[in-house]
Amino acid sequence: MIHGIDSLNGGYSMRTTQDFLNHLVPIELSFIQASITKLCRDKITDDTTNYDNVCNKVEDCPYCGSYHYVKNGFNPHHKQKYRCQDCGKIFTATTETMFTHSKTSFNTWSAFIACELNGLSLEQDSVATGLSVTTCFHMRHKLYKAISKVNDNVILHGLIELDAAYTKINLKGTRPQNMPRSSKHRGRKNASIYSRHLRGLSNHKVCLVTATDENDNILFKIAGLGQESYDKYDQFKNHFVKHSTIISDDKPCIQAFTYNNEMKTDVIPSLANQKRYTASSGNSISSVNELHTEAKKMIRHNKGISTRHLQAYLDWLVFRKRLRYTLDMRKWKDETYMETMREKIPFINTEIVKLPQPIDLYKAYGAYHYGIYKNIN
């Protein structure tokens, strides 16, 4: 027995384990590596389930958040059940996670996550994992929703680049009876007035607020419809630390947001007949522009992304970018699995296509009195 190995017993912590390993000499590390290799062969098989990873990590009731729960027998799949002593509901370790009702094994989930990290399409995911395209679609949205929960608490400070981007409203996947406008037909010269996009920055465009700081923390959120405004920025003020420096162009709405939230400004001036890409200090918003470019590529790669699911895809883009900044590529898959396995997912497969729109469709199409707004005055 290696001296000190017992310190791994008891409460498991990635940080304490890393500290312990850093103090070992090469021969001790070699011994542990051989032991772990054998354990992996024994414990990670085709029959290993996701429940095996989260069964010892039940901290609270997934329904009410109470810490008062007791064991309550086993379900038909021999998984430990628990009963909350406050709300009375029964749950298992995987309830309200992305593994709820999932029969997919741990190895298949890991392979699927690897496919998503490499930017494969659903059809390619299906071939690589042996699952149907529909199952891959459901797994993708569960994974992306879990990642969205991870990204919700981002805080920006120091030097912060801030700007906005725009994309068209996309109603991909909406049933005909739920359409607020008529469907578009590629190549039709005289499009119906009910499907025609307004030119410029109208309410037919979705505004995306984008910010990144010097520590590679990223905010990429749907802010609403139409041109950027003070209110669109101000709804995300809790993500910005006071007295930070905002690098942006000289739009009045950004300057007002910066001033009212006690932050400094570093302005890139807009001059007639002259392009400027940097402020007088030499700072630019190149990182934000790079994010906008990657988002456009992602939308094209997926042949359009429904506005209903756009925020989840943006959060996945941000998460992948964070992994590139902080971890070796070989660790991406396991880091993604560990970050998402206990995040609460507030929907099941059949509810994915019924998720609420993040924008006000009436504001965009209500004046047309078409489809779902036909009888609304």
What CA–CA distance (Å, rounded) separates 353 from 175?
10
8 Å CB contact between 303 and 79:
no
Could you report the average pLDDT of every consecutive run of 10 residues in the chain (377 residues)?
A: 38 62 75 67 55 64 88 82 90 81 80 88 91 91 86 89 93 86 67 63 90 92 93 94 92 93 89 75 90 93 91 92 78 74 73 86 83 78
8 Å CB contact between 374 and 182:
no
- Exposed e or buried b for every residue in 198-214, given b needs 16+ CB within 10 A? eeeeebbbbbbbbbbbb
**CA-to-CA separations, 100 to 130, 314, 354, in angstroms, rounded:** 20, 24, 18
DSSP state of 89: -
Alpha helices in 217-368 (DSSP H): 230-234, 252-260, 286-301, 310-326, 332-340, 361-365
Task: Copy the structure tokens of residue 64.
Answer: 């009410």
DSSP state of 229: -
8 Å CB contact between 79 and 56:
no
DSSP state letters, 65-131:
--S-EEEEEE-TT-PEEEEETTT--EE-TTTTSTTTT----HHHHHHHHHHHHTT--HHHHHHHHS-
Of the options 2.30.30, 2.20.25, 3.30.70, 1.10.357, the CATH number for the domain spanning 51-95: 2.20.25
- Exposed e or buried b for every residue in 154-165, given b needs 16+ CB within 10 A? bebbebbbbbbb
8 Å CB contact between 8 and 18:
no
8 Å CB contact between 333 and 110:
yes
What CA–CA distance (Å, rounded) separates 344 from 99?
10
Instruction: Provide the greatest CA pair distance for the chain.
Output: 80
Please state the φ and ψ torsions of residue 253, each to the nearest 5 degrees: -65, -40
CATH 2.20.25 region(s) of the chain?
51-95
What CA–CA distance (Å, rounded) separates 116 from 50?
18
Nearest CA among 299, 311, 304, 307 for reference residue 357: 307
8 Å CB contact between 7 and 16:
yes
Task: Copy the structure tokens of residue 280.
Answer: 């007088």
Does the model's pTM come out above 0.85?
no
